[in-house]
Structure 1
Amino acid sequence: MPSLPELTAEQREDIRRICGFACVRCGVTIYRYLALPTDKHADEPIGTLLCPTCHGLVEEGRLTPAQVCSFHANPVVRQRHFARDRLPFSNELPQLIVGGARLLRDTPIPVTVEGEPLLIFAPPRRGNGATRISVRLGGRDGTPEQIVDGNEWLPTNGSWHFLLRGDRYSIMAARGDGLAVLRIVSRSRIAVEHLRTTIKGRRVEVTPDWLEIDGKRYVDRISSGNLIGLEV
């Protein structure tokens, strides 16, 4: 199932809406736009959303295209049993637990390093869908890499891995020590459980309780109610 990188904004919006703004199989709100098998005479391929883990099952042959089509026809998030509260389906900017600060409110970008935002949170487009999450960390050489952009998973070469572990979104570098773990406390509250990266020569580590920059630890340095909570 190939990626659909050349979609227009309108096409992406249509696919998100049809799929319920999440992976059609498991409901994870980090996903790739992928082409479904379609009639060869169709004007354009029909797209669906799969998280990196479920797409990996397709690549391994453990999930067939026919099964994906079945999930696409009845996305899990639209089924009555699906527990939306365990994932970030909210029409508001989430409250953040990070760096030992009191609960951060109205702070879309908790930390930037040398002008690079490590995390960006935004409410869903048009007030419907899931919290938009973006993640930007340093690669093996410290060069900034956009890994997630508005919930879209960008790596296609195996350089980064994604896992849903309980109530945690875990993003890990295949090589090196890049790491971002976000715990979904509730649909509108997210804790930065652990973030670790070296970006542009600056070493940064973040937990819910503290922030460490180049080996020096800080508590309660991220301010609430600003576009950027802390600029390093």
Structure 2
Amino acid sequence: MTIYRYLALPAESREKGATLLCPTCHGLVEEGRLTPTQVCSFHANPVVRQRHFARDRLPFSSEMPHLIVGGSRLLRDTPIPVTVDGEPLLIFAPPRRANGATRISLRLAAPDGTPVQIIDGNEWLPTDGSWHFLLRGDRYSIMAARGDGLAVLRIVARNRIAVEHLRATIKGRRIEITPDWLEIDGKRHIDRIGSGSLIGLEL
């Protein structure tokens, strides 16, 4: 996930370009536990390339991820699990480079039900504090500051992602998704999302 923030770094480091930090490292910077000098050192030796770094619980895979969502069947080769009135809630795509991360896009709703893009290809879009992102262990949590919008994704393995909880009201339609079921306007369904197609379920 890419969240843009700015940190005053020594002049020599600025000549090397921007340093991208994961949300966990951003938090350490804000708490004062990572110094500007330590951040500069990430240019020469990024954490994800260090030998001790475990990538197993991060979505680094050249394949489309298998999805655990809406029932007992594992979804394969399904980039868009669900759309609501033509709005794709989640989109998964393989990385642009072989050793990159799975690209995740998320579209939920503003408090008035208007669709809003939260994440686009792993880039965090909100700049007004209307949405919050939390990385805890192997879970990505995205929450609306106002309203009930929510998405929680768990990285089960490098090429396996569980939609632990997704909740939104888009264009007057309420949808809630867990690994085990899908609920549309109060009616619960199991195994309605198809596998092996561009869109698993159109609502």
Question: TM-score scaled by structure 1?
Answer: 0.79
Give the Å deviation of 1:121: 0.4
Q: Secondary structure at the match of 1:86?
A: coil
Q: Which amino acid aligns with 2:111?
A: R
Give the Å deviation of 1:42: 10
Matches within 5 A, 1:78-117: 78-117=49-88
> In 1, are the aligned partners of 2:168 and 2:175 still within 8 Å (CA)?
yes
Q: Which residue of 2 aligns with 1:180?
A: 151
Give the Å deviation of 1:201: 1.3
Q: Which residue of 2 aligns with 1:20?
A: none
> In 2, are the aligned partners of 1:106 and 1:224 still within 8 Å (CA)?
yes
Q: Which residue of 2 aligns with 1:132?
A: 103
Q: Which amino acid aligns with 2:198?
A: L
Change in CA separation of 1:175 and 1:204 when aligned onto 2, cut-off 3 Å? same
Q: Which residue of 2 aligns with 1:207?
A: 178
Change in CA separation of 1:44 and 1:143 when aligned onto 2, cut-off 3 Å? farther
Change in CA separation of 1:45 and 1:99 when aligned onto 2, cut-off 3 Å? same
Q: Which residue of 2 aligns with 1:10?
A: none
Question: TM-score scaled by structure 2?
Answer: 0.89
Distance 1:101 1:228 in 2: 18
Q: Which amino acid aligns with 1:69?
A: C
Matches within 5 A, 1:115-126: 115-126=86-97
Sequence identity percentage: 81
Distance 2:9 2:144 in 1: 34
Change in CA separation of 1:201 and 1:121 when aligned onto 2, cut-off 3 Å? same
- Structure 1 residue 77 corresponds to structure 2 residue 62: no
Change in CA separation of 1:140 and 1:57 when aligned onto 2, cut-off 3 Å? farther
Distance 1:67 1:42 in 2: 11
> In 2, are the aligned partners of 1:136 and 1:147 still within 8 Å (CA)?
yes
Q: Which amino acid aligns with 2:141?
A: S
Larger relative contact order (CA 8 Å, sep ≥ 6): 2
- Structure 1 residue 50 corresponds to structure 2 residue 21: yes
Q: Which residue of 1 aligns with 2:126?
A: 155
Distance 1:71 1:193 in 2: 32
Give the Å deviation of 1:148: 1.0
Give the Å deviation of 1:139: 1.5
Q: Which amino acid aligns with 1:220?
A: D
Give the Å deviation of 1:126: 3.4
Give the Å deviation of 1:128: 2.8
Change in CA separation of 1:120 and 1:215 when aligned onto 2, cut-off 3 Å? same
Give the Å deviation of 1:167: 1.6
Q: Which residue of 2 aligns with 1:170?
A: 141
